[in-house]
Structure 1
Amino acid sequence: MMAGTNRLSGDGTMDAEQEVPDRPLPGVVRTVTFMVLSFPLRILQFVLIVVGAAVGIGTVVIWIGIPILLGTTALVRWFGDVERRWARAMLGAPAADVEKLRVEGSWLERWRFRLADSVTWRDLGYLMLVFPLGVLEFALGLASVILVPFAIWVAPWLGWLHAQLAEALLGPPRTQRLAARAQRLQASRARGVDAAEAERRRIERDLHDGAQQRLVSVAMSLGRAKSKLEHDPDALRELIDEAHSDAKLAVSELRDLARGIYPAVLGDRGLDAALSAQAAKSPIPVEVTVDVEPRPPAAVETTAYFIVGETLTNIAKHAGANEAVVKVWRTEGTVIVEVTDNGHGGAEMRPEGGLAGLADRAATIDGVITVVSPPGGPTVIRADLPCSW
């Protein structure tokens, strides 16, 4: 874990339940600032692009227009990157910078490639569309400064709608998004396989070091008892008692091992009862709130159960906390697990460490682990687990 915020995922980000499906509304101040300060930028972009395109096309027959068009094309791409960063900073639009392919060849060949690139035309479409939109947003932004109710209730929705537009036109093309998602899924599955293999080795080790040794001891005790069956009744009684004790221990260890693979209470009564049982065993007080109806798939329940269990174990061992809170709730397509403690914070993410194990476990079902742990605490560990694939 690192101080601050870390996101460990097998896919992308997912947000808590909101009235909108994808992300929360941007803040009022950020939205109004965006609408007002964007207007000069919109004017500059529109004038430079329209004038550049008009002059370039008008003079292309005498070759002067070609460098003008080349510069205009570069401006379109540059302004597109500016808009991505601006929308992401102010509105939270996840319009990440698109992948820029390096093309070899002359400047004319590189320009022709840019003209054929869908990103260029999507950037241009956005820049032309937001000019008239910017005029309206500027007026509404000024109205928001005067009319506080308008700013509180309407401006955030306008910002959210603009963020949707930015994501649609400025985000990576669909093929690039699908390729990136396939790459993340491949990495997620690989981590899931590694986590399953580590779990298999743990079970094998526990069987070998625990129940197997107990059963061997039972067999040896019974063998010795058999040899004393007729000649030494007192020693026979002691050996049978010893075998009986070892058998009970073996049964207990096998029960604990089976509970570690899949707890019966989770299958029978669901997450609420299972997590409450975990909390009751914690050495520090743990408050549990669960609201996941309708009941999520078994794989999601199991992942949530073990994430909470491992997190509570880490808190008890390392956090220096005297209380913890577990909250689990469900949006339409996601189960969100959030564990908070009042410990000293400032934890670090280490390879093969506990949090890396949580991320690997979440990655098996395309889940995301987010960690916030500033020095001095509190520490918040959140898992976003998709319920449909």
Structure 2
Amino acid sequence: MLAGFPISVLAFVLIVTLFSAGVSTLIVWLGLALLLLLTKVAYGFAGLNRRLLRRTLKVDIPTPQIELDLTAPPWRRYVNRLVDAQMWRYLAYLLLSFPLHVFEFPLAIVGVVLLPVGVFVLPVVAALHVMLAKALLGPNTTEQLTQKAEHLQASRARGVDAAEAERRRIERDLHDGAQQRLVAVAMGLGRAKSKMESDPDAVRDLIAEAHADAKLAVAELRDLARGIYPAVLGDRGLDAALSSLAAKSPIPVDVHVVIDPRPPAAVESTAYFIVGESLTNIAKHSGATEAKVNAWREERPSGDLVIVEITDDGHGGATMRAGGGLAGLADRAATIDGVMTVVSPVGGPTVIRADLPCTW
């Protein structure tokens, strides 16, 4: 509240001055320039107030999307912004919040001296301020629904692509692995059947060969099933599953998991495969000597998140390019409205982070 007071005073003075001067000089065209400058001031202070609320009150207000014709001349874009309803909502907030900030400022000073005021009154006033900010600085209901629909449409498309890629992988693994083994078993048993009477010793060797191929096929099918959904993940949860991945890694991996209560199965499997693919990439391409895996559950007003971070000390330079492995992991995360980010400067370290919502 103390920090917002000088910002509100400056915004109020600039808005009143520019609006008054702009309207009074419209007849000589100077007023239009002043009113266009007013839009820049309004948008700037709206963004500043959103950042202030985010840092001081931990309230994240999305930035409204304003449709502007980028092919139009700059002056036309500013005029369209001047008549846009969102700009007037910004002005309404900056004007209405000024007396509220004036009231909050002496109240905050009193709250520093009188503890009951700070403990019981200030939070109520802050809640009212947040309600006003959400109503005027954020997108309206129609915009929120539109943004959510666009996000869901994009997530669905990426989810379909990820499922199709997974289907092709399973088909390829079956064709190149277990299917070839089973064909060899069938051929070996057929040859053994044809030689049953004429060459019993050869039959014994053919059956032993077919038996070995059958065992290899079973092992490959077991590995394929584990790649679809590992048994340890379903039985013992994400902590044990990630520890098993770390144990198989050729480089040392430190695993730290704090997730309680247990998240949905879709979140666990997504986190598992992101960690598994990331550790594989680290071992193959990063030149790292060690890696760390941290996973924890974080409470948010919009719903709980499971956050997974994989860090290595390699040479860096990893990017999410279209069709690459990291892009595929991002697509997998998007199927449950998750977001994956990669920070990998040249020289390292590389940090891969996935924010996975527990509800979607």
TM range (shorter): 0.7 to 0.9
CA separation of 1:84/1:321 partners in 2, compared to 1, >3 Å: closer, same or farther?
farther
Residue from 276, 288, 296 that aligns with 2:255: 288
Residue from 83, 90, 99 that aligns with 2:66: 99
Residue from 147, 156, 180 that aligns with 1:180: 147
Amino acid at match of 1:379: T
Aligned to 2:294: 327
- Determine if contact 1:36/1:141 at 8 Å carries over to the other structure: no
Q: Does 1:339 align with 2:306?
A: no
Q: Structure 1 stretches of 5 or more lacking a match?
A: 1-30, 148-156
| Alpha-carbon displacement from aligned partner over 1:318-370 (angstroms, at most 9, x marks no partner) | 11111111111112311111111111122223111111111100001100012
Alpha-carbon distance in 2 for matches of 1:80, 1:283? 56
- Determine if contact 1:91/1:159 at 8 Å carries over to the other structure: no
Aligned to 1:360: 331
Aligned to 1:258: 225
Alpha-carbon distance in 1 for matches of 2:33, 2:276? 58
CA separation of 1:223/1:111 partners in 2, compared to 1, >3 Å: closer, same or farther?
closer
Aligned to 2:13: 44
Q: How does 1:11-90 map to 2 (within 5 A)?
A: 35=4, 38=7, 41-48=10-17, 51=20, 74=36, 77-87=39-49
SS at match of 1:365: coil
| Alpha-carbon displacement from aligned partner over 1:161-212 (angstroms, at most 9, x marks no partner) | 9788645422222211221221121011001001100110111111111101
| Aligned residues: CA RMSD | 3.7
CA separation of 1:88/1:124 partners in 2, compared to 1, >3 Å: closer, same or farther?
closer
Q: How does 1:105-116 map to 2 (within 5 A)?
A: none
- Determine if contact 1:99/1:172 at 8 Å carries over to the other structure: no
Aligned to 1:20: none
Alpha-carbon distance in 1 for matches of 2:201, 2:195? 9
Q: Structure 2 stretches of 5 or more lacking a match?
A: 55-59, 114-122
Alpha-carbon distance in 2 for matches of 1:114, 1:52? 15
The answer to which of 164-173 and 225-234 deviates more is: 164-173
SS at match of 2:309: strand
Alpha-carbon distance in 2 for matches of 1:36, 1:354? 49
Aligned to 1:372: 343
Aligned to 2:185: 218
SS at match of 2:348: coil
Residue from 200, 208, 226 that aligns with 1:233: 200
The answer to which of 158-167 and 264-273 deviates more is: 158-167
- Determine if contact 2:5/2:102 at 8 Å carries over to the other structure: no
Amino acid at match of 2:215: K
CA separation of 1:82/1:137 partners in 2, compared to 1, >3 Å: closer, same or farther?
farther
Alpha-carbon distance in 2 for matches of 1:385, 1:113? 36
CA separation of 1:225/1:291 partners in 2, compared to 1, >3 Å: closer, same or farther?
same
Alpha-carbon distance in 2 for matches of 1:321, 1:366? 31
SS at match of 1:356: helix
Alpha-carbon distance in 2 for matches of 1:128, 1:51? 14
- Determine if contact 1:39/1:138 at 8 Å carries over to the other structure: no
Q: Does 1:190 align with 2:161?
A: no
Aligned to 2:98: 131
Amino acid at match of 1:231: S
Amino acid at match of 2:328: G
Aligned to 1:169: 136
Aligned to 1:298: 265
CA separation of 1:50/1:138 partners in 2, compared to 1, >3 Å: closer, same or farther?
farther
Amino acid at match of 1:385: L
Amino acid at match of 2:40: W
Amino acid at match of 2:208: D
Amino acid at match of 1:296: P
- TM-score, normalization by structure 1: 0.74
How much has 1:294 moved relative to structure 2?
1.2
Alpha-carbon distance in 2 for matches of 1:131, 1:99? 25
How much has 1:131 moved relative to structure 2?
2.2
CA separation of 1:321/1:90 partners in 2, compared to 1, >3 Å: closer, same or farther?
farther
| Alpha-carbon displacement from aligned partner over 1:42-74 (angstroms, at most 9, x marks no partner) | 342353267469x77xx9xxx97x996x77865
Q: Does 1:207 align with 2:191?
A: no
SS at match of 1:384: strand
- Determine if contact 1:345/1:374 at 8 Å carries over to the other structure: yes
- Determine if contact 2:19/2:35 at 8 Å carries over to the other structure: no
CA separation of 1:305/1:160 partners in 2, compared to 1, >3 Å: closer, same or farther?
farther
- Determine if contact 1:80/1:170 at 8 Å carries over to the other structure: no
How much has 1:302 moved relative to structure 2?
0.8
- Determine if contact 2:340/2:354 at 8 Å carries over to the other structure: yes
- Percent sequence identity is 63
CA separation of 1:97/1:47 partners in 2, compared to 1, >3 Å: closer, same or farther?
same
Aligned to 1:388: 359
How much has 1:227 moved relative to structure 2?
1.5
SS at match of 1:288: strand
